Amino acid sequence: MSRFEIADTSLDGLKIVQRKTAADARGSLSRLFCAADLKAAGFDAAIAQINHTFTVQRGAVRGLHFQYPPHAEIKMVSCLRGEVFDVAVDLRSGSPTFLRWYGRVLTDENLVSLVIPRGFAHGFQTLTENCELLYLHSCAYSAASEGAINVRDPSVAIAWPLAIAVLSERDQSHPYVDKEFSGIRP
């Protein structure tokens, strides 16, 4: 029996994973990952790296990050504490949804995760203070393969739910998409 309900989004390949819980008088258990079950969500590779973020301030934004091939990665993002607006942007060359974004609220209570395929950028905004996210990656980080687009890029036009309260210097300096950018081939 699968411990997940998997649903499509408006962007091909981007999946919503609803974790199921088993509860009793002691508390509850929810499975964060199962390779056999999550293959149906597109996570068809081994986990190569696990990252954890802690963001203190409400309204903070992190992103929009991705990796170029050969280090393009599948990510599964889950919120362990707090509430975030999680965003994936389709950067796949030739995709019918190229430069479109999808956003979803992830919380420690709704048990929703996103499985983000190769060729997508990812970022999030904290909707509460003290948010923690857990990322499962199919490929280890490679500085030489790192890519990013600016969270304020008008060609993507993400409707962040709150005014951006905090954005790192690094994320502020990410480039805007220019007319030369034709996407990435995951």
Residue 19 CB neighbour total at 10 angstroms: 17
In the chain, the amino acid numbered 162 is: L
Catalytic, 65? Answer yes
- Do 166 and 60 contact (CB within 8 A), yes or no? yes
- Do 62 and 124 contact (CB within 8 A), yes or no? yes
- CA proximity to 112, closest of 30, 25, 1: 30
For 118, the token pair is 């190769």
Marked catalytic residue, from 52, 65, 68, 71: 65
Catalytic, 137? Answer no
Marked catalytic residue, from 52, 71, 102, 135: 135
Residues marked active site are found at 65, 135
